[in-house]
Structures are given as C-alpha cells and as structure tokens.
Structure 1
Amino acid sequence: MSDATLELRGIAKTYNPGTPGAVTVLDGVDLTVSAGEIVALVAPSGAGKSTLLHIAGLLDTADSGQVLLGGQEMTGRGDAARTRARRREVGFVYQFHHLLPEFSAAENIVLPQLANAVSAKDARARAVTLLDSVGLSARAGHRPAQLSGGEQQRVAFCRALANAPRLLLADEPTGNLDPATSDTVFAALMRLVRETGMAALVATHNMDLAARMDRIVRLEAGGVVAV
C-alpha cells in the first residue's frame, strides 16, 4: 500500500482559456509527497507555485488531472465534500500570517478546531500544547499586534496544525521575515512536521532553506522536475 499523502496526476491549469490572453501555468504536473516527507517547491515568481498549492489543497480546481489525498480521489467531489476534506486533511501557512487580530494567539488556534466540532476544552488544551512546542506558551494570551513577526508566524504554524492534518502546504512561509528570524521560524516548522509525521509541500525562494528539506522539485515550463 502506498504511503503517499498527496498525489497529483497530470494537473493542468490555464487562465482565460480560449482568449488571446490565455496563460497556461500548469501543464501535466505529476508530484507525490509521502507521509513524513518535507518537499521544497521552487520556481520564479509567477510560475504557478501558488496555483499548484491551491489545487493540491482543494482551494482551486484543475482543468484536468487528479488530486488524491491519502489515496482518496478528490477531483470529482462536490464543494461540500471538498470543504470537509480540506478542513480535516490539510493545513495552510502563507507568507503573511493572516491571524485574526481581535483574538489571542491561543484563540486563533482554538477557532479552527471549533469549526471541526472539537470541544472548547480539548481545543484549548491542544492550542496550549502547540504553542508550547514552538516556545510560545507564555504568549498564549497575547493578540497578534503584541507579537513579533516571527512569533506571529509560529502561531500561524500552530493554527495550521490545529486539526492534525495529514498534509501541510506552505507558500513562502518565511518570505516576510529577516534571515535570522526566518531560520528560527523554519526550524520550528521542520520540528513540528517531523514530530507529527505529516507530509509537507513548501514553496520557497530561499535555496538555503530548500536544501534543508528532504527533496527539492522545480516548477518550470508548466511541469515539475527534480532538482
């Protein structure tokens, strides 16, 4: 039995098809990410990294091809089924943390769990555990504006892991941080992924960070190639 958490088969995506402005960003992408594996996705800006992540995370649909999570076909499912799968199976981290400013660090991690029918008590306990794992237990009651950029992004990692997803998708997760903070935040991300055994696909421009992952793939000419 395959241990693949994410399988992309023949993924194609064209914007504005059938018009003079048509742009094909993905053209037959094949990619597998296994449980416990951290894969770096590198490409120039505009090459389609974010589009690929959104399709993999069921936020967008491909024109053709298949998306499988844990061996389950997701491509033909309706919006409600895709939303359920995304909520349970996928965690997202972006370049900007997108934390809710009116809620504390812990509350930002509790909220996605409540949406997934976790009890308030259990959600709070998991939030505290996750914050402790990235060295932020003392900041649990602080709102985002009271946290540094690196602290905010570590909270965002914890929020992404709140519902114990199988797959973590990260789009330039340290791109808004200075080099020293970036290194600290990335180390926290690597540790969380290793401890949980999830699969992770991380888009990054930073080749030093990419080199610390298990493997690097490059998106070029609409396809994915190994580096």
Structure 2
Amino acid sequence: MSDPVLRLTGIEKVYNPGAPNEVHVLRGADLTLVRGEVVAMVAPSGAGKSTLLHIAGLLDKPDAGRVEIGGEDVGALPDRRRTAIRRGALGFVYQFHHLLPEFSALENITLPQLANGTPRRQAEERAMALLGSVGVAERAHHRPAALSGGEQQRVAFCRAMANSPRVLLADEPTGNLDPETSDRVFDALMRLVRDTGLSALIATHNLELAARMDRRVRLESGRLVAID
C-alpha cells in the first residue's frame, strides 16, 4: 500500500466538556488516506462529519488523538506552521461555494496562489488551466453572481486545487445543487482529482455519489466504520 498522505488516529472531540449539555462528537475516529484514493464519508447531519473534516484540515484541534499529513505529526505544531501546511497541502470545498463576490472566477483562483508566493502570470495561467479542465474557461471573467450554481461550485473546486494540495477535503460539495447539476458537478470534481492524482475525503449523504468513490466509511457513534 502507498504511504498515507493523511492519517487520523484516535480522534476525539467534546463540546462543552463537563457541562450538562456536553456533546461527545468524536470517540476515537481512525482513518488512513493514501495517495490517489478518493474516500466517501457518509453520515447524517449532526453526526460530526464537519468536525472531523475541520480537524483533518487543521482548522480545529482534537481533544485527543493524532493528525498526520505526509507522515508528519501536525497536531502539536505552532499555529503559524499549521497555517502554512493548511495553505499548501490541503484544499477545501464546502456545500456553499464561498467565492469572493467582488472578484471574477479567475481572480478567485489566482488570489490563493498569490498569497502562497506564486507570480501573478503563473497563477493566472494555472487558474485558466483549472477552469478549462472543468469546462468553465469561458466564464473566467464573470463574477460569482453571474454564474449558475453549478458553475460557482466548479470554480470553488478550482480554487481548492489552486495551490496543488496533496489532500482535498470536501463537505457535501454538491449538497446545494439539484440532482442533475449535482451529477455533472461531481463528474467535474472527480476528473480534477483523478487528473492530479491527489487524495480526497468527501463527506456526503448521497449514497449514489458515494458508490462511485474508491472506498466508503460511515461516521457512527463518533467512530469511522468501513462500508462494504
């Protein structure tokens, strides 16, 4: 088996510890993601999938457990180092696109690269290549409000891929779209992932989409369980 690009070991997360409304969301969740693998995480709303993705993406810290990216234990690193890893090694896609409304599609993909030190011309060339790969290159200079929902989400995928991450984390990336658009947008996402060879952990409640991924796990009682 390939070396893991992301490994979660014994992840626990408790909200309001010790209080009457204490919620134990994660109870020793384990996951190993290898290069090129696309894993579906299936869970109902409120089960903790967003919490797990935030911990995997270094947006939150677990109360216990270990987070490794590329074999490095990143849980105890200083915030500045965690931010650098998050910016360079991880890409995020959410149910809502969260594109910056005052910037064009091209600019939304260029800006993360500029923040990471990429020269503007190189950043714009990569942005155009990404937009072309998901079939919206002709919309490059349109602002988000001028794009359809499916186009907005495809631009969001490109933004997540802008800095060539090793791991893509997606939280219900097609959950805000109608079934037909969802299917087209998911195809675009999978092409991006397969063409770049990166790994992806995709949270979804859509079992048909989950069945098209390499492996499926279910978040159940705070732990991840393999689905046959």
**Common fold: TM-score over 0.5:** yes
Counterpart for residue 48 of structure 2: 48
Post-superposition Cα deviations, 1:119-159, rounded to whole Å, max 9, x if no partner, equal: 10100000000000001111100000110000000000000
Aligned length: 227
Post-superposition Cα deviations, 1:62-116, rounded to whole Å, max 9, x if no partner, equal: 0010000111110100110100000000000000000001000000000000110
Counterpart for residue 103 of structure 2: 103
Tell me how far apart the structure 2 counterparts of residues 128 and 72 of structure 1 sit (CA, whole Å).
33
The answer as to 2:114 corresponding to 1:94 is: no
Counterpart for residue 33 of structure 1: 33
Post-superposition Cα deviations, 1:151-191, rounded to whole Å, max 9, x if no partner, equal: 00000000000000000000000000000000000000001
Counterpart for residue 196 of structure 1: 196
Q: Which runs of 5+ in 2 are unaligned?
A: none
Tell me how far apart the structure 1 counterparts of residues 193 and 35 of structure 2 sit (CA, whole Å).
10
Counterpart for residue 16 of structure 1: 16
Counterpart for residue 149 of structure 1: 149
Tell me how far apart the structure 2 counterparts of residues 49 and 222 of structure 1 sit (CA, whole Å).
9
Tell me how far apart the structure 2 counterparts of residues 130 and 200 of structure 1 sit (CA, whole Å).
17
Structure 1 length normalisation: TM-score? 0.99
Counterpart for residue 139 of structure 2: 139
Counterpart for residue 63 of structure 2: 63
The answer as to 2:74 corresponding to 1:74 is: yes
Instruction: Give the match's secondary structure for 2:217.
Output: strand
Tell me how far apart the structure 1 counterparts of residues 3 and 163 of structure 2 sit (CA, whole Å).
20
Question: Stretches of 4+ moved more than 2 A in 1?
Answer: none
Instruction: Give the match's secondary structure for 1:10.
Output: strand
RMSD between superposed Cα atoms in Å: 0.8
Tell me how far apart the structure 1 counterparts of residues 68 and 145 of structure 2 sit (CA, whole Å).
38
Instruction: Give the match's secondary structure for 1:40.
Output: strand
Instruction: Give the match's secondary structure for 1:30.
Output: strand
Counterpart for residue 186 of structure 1: 186
Q: Which runs of 5+ in 1 are unaligned?
A: none
Instruction: Give the match's secondary structure for 1:20.
Output: coil
Deviation (angstroms), 1:2: 4.7
Counterpart for residue 85 of structure 2: 85
